Amino acid sequence: MTRTSPTSSPTTRRREVGPAWWPIVVDLVAVLAFVVIGRRSHAEGLDLPGLHGTLWPFVVGSVVGWASVTGVRWPLSAVRSGAVVWVSTAVIGVLLRVVSGQGVQVSFVVVTVVVLGVFVVGWRAVAALVRR
Residue 119's CB is within 10 A of a number of other CB atoms, namely 21
At 53-72, the pLDDT tens digits run: 999 999 999 999 999 999 99
Three-class SS string for 103-117? Answer: CCCHHHHHHHHHHHH
Where in the chain are the domains?
22-131
For residue range 77-128, what is the model confidence (pLDDT) as tens digits?
999 999 999 999 999 999 999 999 988 889 999 999 999 999 999 999 999 9
Q: Write down the pTM of the prediction.
A: 0.81
